[in-house]
Structure 1
Amino acid sequence: MDLRRRALLGVDGLRVLLMLFHTVTRIMAEQEVENLSGLSTNPEKDIFVVRENGTTCLMAEFAAKFIVPYDVWASNYVDLITEQADISLTRGAEVKGHCGHDESELQVFWVDRAYALKMLFLKESHNTSQGPEATWKLSKVQFVYDSSEKTHFKDAVSAGKHTANSHHLSALVTPAGKSYECQAQQTISLASSDPQKTVTMVLSAVHIQPFDIISDFVFSEEHKCPVDEREQLEETLPLILGLILGLVIVVTLVIYHIHHKMTANQVQIPRDRSQYKHMG
């Protein structure tokens, strides 16, 4: 009996240790995701990570704001006036999601789940003149908001939860195996379940990779958006032109100096024939 009791106690102790181990692992994982928000130097930007099987499968870093129109009563309590709520995605939000071979999803919740953002990414293959080419894109955005939340909505008529969805979206198109990066602002229109209302999603300082992450917590090579490339060219073009102009001036001065030195060393032949008698 003592041996059996000791064995049972040993099994129970092992179960307790396993439960503690799983609890500690879960807490560490939660802290790992939570601490990532402190890695961004931009106070308006956050870093979101989805991890599966002990490794990073989706990373997203961006700032997001939602411009939401809503109705309030006019002073006569007969007419309706449209107001506008500016809702920013706050840091330290709850992060969920899943990863697949051709489809990944990021879910972000904040302000006690009064607001929820879902972003669906798809990987596709295309036949080109160079052969098959794989790309990924942002194919769907869904924003759920609660107009009864008093911080952003003041006296909203018909307050409650509404859902705003994108329509035939194909954004952030990026070659497979690369991350998408864009500092410029990008807007996406979302059709709301609140009648005749269009929600505007404004993304900025974006860096996203939903597939093919090779190193844990590390983005792959960046694919920059056309706006950033154009702005970078506009910034560097005056510098390049200035360098070319400076080089032309230097070359011209060097040629002039060499020519002047060569002509100065040549014997000067007098133009007046009377001066020949003084030569020699």
Structure 2
Amino acid sequence: MDLRGRAFPSVYRLRVLLMLFYTMARITAEQEVENLSGLSTNPEKDIFVVRENGTTCLMAEFAAKFIVPYDVWASNYVDLITEQADISLTRGAEVKGHCGHNESELQVFWVDRAYALKMLFVKESHNASKGPEATWRLSKVQFVYDSSEKTHFKDAVSAGKHTANSHRLSALVTPAGKSYECQAQQSISLASSDPQKTVTMILSAVHIQPFDIISDFVFSEEHKCPVDEREQLEETLPLILGLILGLVIVVTLAIYHIHHKMTANQVQIPRDRSQYKHMG
């Protein structure tokens, strides 16, 4: 009896310690996910960071808006008409996420969880002529919205929660080890559980890296989207053409000046032979 009596407190203490350890681990895990939107100068943009083992493993900075069609009754209360809700991802949203070697996920919740955004990223290897190449991409987007939320939805018919998902998505494709950057707007279509409704997700001012972050809280080298590269080329092309044109003019004037100087220094031979006697 004495042995059992002595063993019981030890087991109890062990259970208490395990419970404390679990609680601390859960709190630590929650602290590993941060919303740093206050660091952004753009009031419409959020910065999200997921950290594991004391270091950053996912960073995302973007502005997001969702265009959601929904039905309301017409004035005759017989027909249905379609209205449109514009829902922006607000600053200070709740964040969750996790990182993996080949798969990472970011989850964002706002307006008391009336809206939720889930973004799934995957890293893949591809066979190329120069050897295997690795890239990462946005493979899935899920948007959950509640049409009974009165701020954006007014008098919605069959109000309630709906889920909109992407279909065979391959977006933001980026070489492994780099971050993706795109200032231009990008649209992604999502099929809603609300029948015959398509939700449009619009991303802008995007800077994301879900894998291979080397420095804590610091993006790796940027991989710019084709739209930004084209716009940058369109902006710099007139300048380049102007410089080339200016260079051509300068070279032409220099050649003309040199040619004129050489011609002036040459001895002029008189065309009238009678003038030869005055030469020499």
Same structural fold, with TM-score higher than 0.5 when normalized by the shorter chain: yes
Q: How has the CA–CA distance of structure 1 residues 197 and 252 changed in structure 2, closer, same or farther, with 3 Å as cutoff?
A: same
Shift, 1:80, TM fit = 0.3
Taking a change above 3 Å as real, the CA distance of residues 3 and 99 of structure 1, as seen in their structure-2 partners, is same
**Distance apart, 1:5 and its partner CA:** 21
1:250: Cα distance to partner?
Answer: 0.4
Is contact 2:67-2:85 (8 Å) kept? yes
Counterpart-to-counterpart distance in 2, 1:88 and 1:25? 33
Asked whether the equivalents of residues 33 and 96 of structure 2 are also in contact (C-alpha less than 8 Å), the reply is no
Using a 3 Å threshold, how does the CA distance of structure 1 residues 246 and 164 change in structure 2: closer, same or farther?
same
Per the normalisation by structure 1, the TM-score is: 0.88
Distance 1:247 1:19, change over 3 A: farther
Deviation at 1:272, TM superposition (A): 2.3
**1:27 Cα shift?**
9.5
- Report the alpha carbon displacement of residue 41 of structure 1 after superposing the two structures with TM: 1.7
8 Å Cα contact 1:34/1:92 also seen in 2: no
Deviation at 1:43, TM superposition (A): 1.7
Cα gap change, 1:17/1:264 in structure 2, threshold over 3 Å: closer, same or farther?
farther
Q: Is the 8 A contact 2:58 2:209 kept in 1?
A: yes
Task: Compute the displacement of 1:235 (Å).
Answer: 1.5
- Shift of the 229–148 alpha-carbon distance from structure 1 to 2, 3 Å rule, reads same
| Equivalences for residues 22-171 of structure 1 within 5 A | 36-171=36-171
Contact 2:175/2:223, CA 8 A, preserved across alignment: yes
TM-aligned CA distance change 1:266 to 1:4, over 3 Å: farther
- Mapped contact 2:69–2:197 kept (Cα < 8 A): yes
Q: Give identity over the alignment, percent.
A: 93
Deviation at 1:29, TM superposition (A): 9.5
Structure 1 alignment gaps of length 5 or more: none
The answer to whether the 8 A contact 2:33-2:97 is kept is no
Q: 1:72 to 1:5 in 2, by over 3 A?
A: same
Deviates more, 1:203-212 or 1:6-15: 6-15
- The alpha-carbon distance between structure 1 residues 18 and 39, as it changes in their structure 2 partners (threshold 3 A), is farther
Residues 216, 3 of structure 1: alpha-carbon distance in 2 compared, 3 angstrom cutoff: farther
Work out the CA distance in 2 between the residues paired with 1:12 and 1:235: 71
Of stretches 146-155 and 22-31 in structure 1, the one that deviates more from structure 2 is 22-31
Query: In 2, distance between residues paired with 1:6 and 1:238?
Result: 86
Instruction: Name the CA distance, whole Å, in 2 between partners of 1:142 and 1:165.
Output: 5
Structure 2, gaps ≥5 residues long: none
Is the alpha carbon distance of 1:172 and 1:21 closer, same or farther for their aligned partners in structure 2, counting shifts above 3 Å? Answer: same
Higher alpha-carbon deviation: 49-58 or 232-241: 232-241
CA deviations over 1:52-72 (Å, ceiling 9, x no partner): 111110000111100000000
In the alignment of these two chains, the number of paired residues is 280
- How far apart are the structure 2 equivalents of 1:114 and 1:186? 24
C-alpha distance in 2, partners of 1:148/1:50? 31
Instruction: Give the match's secondary structure for 1:10.
Output: helix
Q: Distance in 2 between matches of 1:33 and 1:53?
A: 12
Q: Distance in 2 between matches of 1:95 and 1:119?
A: 12
Map Cα deviations across residues 54-95 of structure 1 (whole Å, 9 max, x no partner): 111000011110000000000000100000000011111111
Summarize the Cα distance change of 1:66–1:97 in structure 2 as closer, same or farther, 3 Å threshold.
same
TM-score with structure 2 setting the length: 0.88
CA shift in 2, pair 1:11/1:42, >3 Å? farther
Q: 1:278 to 1:2 in 2, by over 3 A?
A: farther
Contact 2:35 2:95 in 1 (8 A): no
Q: CA deviation at 1:215?
A: 0.2
Query: Which 10-residue stretch deviates more, 70-79 or 32-41?
Result: 32-41
- Give distance in 2, aligned partners of 1:30 and 1:257: 75
For 1:228 and 1:87, how far apart are their aligned partners in 2?
Answer: 25
Q: What SS does the corresponding residue of 1:92 show, helix, strand or coil?
A: coil
CA distance in 1, matches of 2:52, 2:175: 23
CA distance in 2 between counterparts of 1:163 and 1:263 reads 83
> Residues of 2 paired with 1:91 and 1:246: CA distance?
49
Moved over 4 A (4+): 1-35
